[in-house]
Each structure stands twice: as structure tokens, then as C-alpha cells.
Amino acid sequence: MTKFLISFPANAMQVADEDMAAVGEASREVIRQAKAAGVYVFGGGLNSEVASVMVAADGACTSEAYPQTRELDGGFCVLELPSREAAIHWASRLAAACRCRQELREFYHDPES
């Protein structure tokens, strides 16, 4: 089984305020179904109200981020699935629920992690 990251940036979700409750419920229903199917690993949303910090090997922290991830936000989930086709299926279900396209990435398998 392979783990897949399904995610979207916050600005991809163009939903009217009055529709947000329905979108939230629809996306939670897909997650409930993934849990029932035994493929859910974890998920959530990145808290944009808390700034990221860069942590060095010596533990020193600075208020910065890698340039390519400065605007990393939005929602994500990790599912463990038997194939890329299965991952595409779940990503399409989340895209329909969230009303925005989802980015699909495959985790590299490390037998010790």
C-alpha cells in the first residue's frame, strides 16, 4: 500500500460564504467514508494564523520560510491506497466535495518510516 497526499491551497476554494457549511459537511463525509474504508491516515488544514519558523540543526529559530513554501496553506489528507488509480478516485471525490481541484502526490516509500 502507498500513501498519497491529497491537498489544495486555501485560495483554490472559491465558495460563497453561505455554501461553506455544505462544503464542510460534504468534505467531512468523504473523510468519514475514507475512515470507514480503512484508507485514512490523517488530515487537516494548516493554521494560517500561526506563522511558520525555520528551525536550524542547533535548535535556533528564525521567522522565515523556504521561498517556495511561503504561501503554503489550505487543506490536506493522507490516504493509504493500493494504487494511483484509487488515489485519483479519492481525490476526485474530495474535489467534488470541496468544489476545487485537488493536488495528488505520492509519498516515497521508506520501509523504516
Q: Parse the chain into domains and list their residue ranges.
A: 2-106
Q: What is the mean pLDDT of each run of 10 residues along the chain (113 residues)?
A: 93 91 95 98 90 93 87 90 97 95 94 83
Partners of 43 in beta bridges: 77
Rounded to whole angstroms, the Cα distance separating 51 from 61 reads: 12
Q: Which fold does the domain 2-106 belong to in CATH? A: Alpha-Beta Plaits (3.30.70)
Q: Where are the beta strands (DSSP E) in 9-110?
A: 40-46, 54-55, 61-62, 74-81, 103-106
Full-model pTM:
0.86
pLDDT attached to residue 89: 97
Selection from 49, 98, 92, 52 nearest residue 75 by Cα: 98
